[in-house]
Amino acid sequence: MGAIKTMKEVESALPQKKEINYVRALDKDGNPILISKEDLAQVVGELLPIATPSKNGLVDKEMAPSSVENGVLKVNLISEYGTPTFLISIYSAASIGIFLLAAQTYNQKLGGKCVCIGENNLSIYVGTKNIYIEPHEHSNMNVCIIPLSDHSGVESVEKMEFEDLDAIKDKLTKIVPIALG
């Protein structure tokens, strides 16, 4: 008579494959089940934390993309001393633009450099602890900003109305993007 094999012995004898249709698992009551790889991917995907500007996820919240529709994107910085860098995209049904921004937020030396690929369809203003991104078209525009390093020092990103930015523009430094294409 043969000895009864343990589950570990049975599983160790199974071939390892990369192309699968189903995975064996246990349900919440401990009963064996089969789950398709598509369903398993969905379950695992729902468990992965998504980074937002207000909470950490698979990346730090400082690295999470932020976007706004029909308004100004106000980036609040942690410190007034730094050179944060960002990738910015702006798009509508009529135009698109991609920008690379390095802003200087030092009290005595506000400014920075910005390069544009595509249409130069936004204005950028820098203050000591804020960066403001204003689309030239004030309707049906989407702006998305992605910090390029976890040292960008982003505290939060919020939507701001165009009129509110107009009221403080004279206290800010404007960065004019250089068009590459």
Which 3 state secondary structure label does DSSP give 150?
A: coil
pTM over 0.85: no
CA distance 74 to 130: 7
- The CATH label, of 1.10.287, 1.10.3050, 2.60.40, 1.10.10, for the domain at 61-179 is 2.60.40
Q: Per-residue pLDDT tens for 97-111?
A: 888 888 877 666 777
Q: Per-residue pLDDT tens for 111-158?
A: 788 888 877 888 889 888 888 988 887 667 777 888 786 656 777 788
Structure tokens at 108: 């005595």
**DSSP character string of 12-69:** HHSPP-S--SEEEEE-TTS-EEEEEHHHHHHHHHHHSPPPBTTB-SSS-GGGS-EEEE
Domain boundary assignment for the chain: 61-179
Q: Per-residue pLDDT tens for 68-100?
A: 777 888 888 877 666 778 888 887 777 788 888
CA distance 126 to 105: 7
Which 3 state secondary structure label does DSSP give 142?
A: strand
| H helices present in 64-122, as ranges | none
Find where tokens 């200087």 sit: 104
Q: Is the pLDDT of residue 27 over 70?
A: yes
Structure tokens at 53: 């500007």
Residues 77/129, Cβ–Cβ less than 8 Å = yes
Structure tokens at 118: 């595509």
Residue of 143, 141, 106 whose CA lies nearest to 126: 106
